Structure 1
Amino acid sequence: MQNRTVAEVMTWEVVQARPDTPAKELARLLDVHRISGLPVVDGDDKVMGVVSRTDLPALPGDRPGGPAAWPPHPVPRRPAGPRAADGATTAGDVMTTPAVTVHPEHRVADAARLMQRRHVDRLPVVDEEDRLIGITTRRDLLRVFLRPDEQILVEVVGEVLGRALDVPPDEVRVSVRDGLVTLRGTLAHEDDIPAAIGLTWRVDGVVGVVSRLVAREGDNGGPYGEPLRRTRE
Structure 2
Amino acid sequence: MRTTVKDVMTTQVVSVNSSTPFKDIAEALIAHGVSAVPVVHESNYVLGVVSEADLLCKEEFREQCYGDNYQPPLRARLRHRLSQDGGSLRQKAVGDTAAELMTSPAVTVSPRSSTVTAARLMDKHGVKRLVVAEDGYLEGIVSRRDLLKTFVRADSDIAREIREEVLERSLSMETLGVAVHVDQGLVTLSGWMDRRSEVMLATRMTRRVNGVVDIIDKLSWKHDDSTRAGDTFSGPS
TM-score, length basis structure 1: 0.48
TM-score, length basis structure 2: 0.47
Q: 1 or 2, which has the higher helix percentage?
A: 2
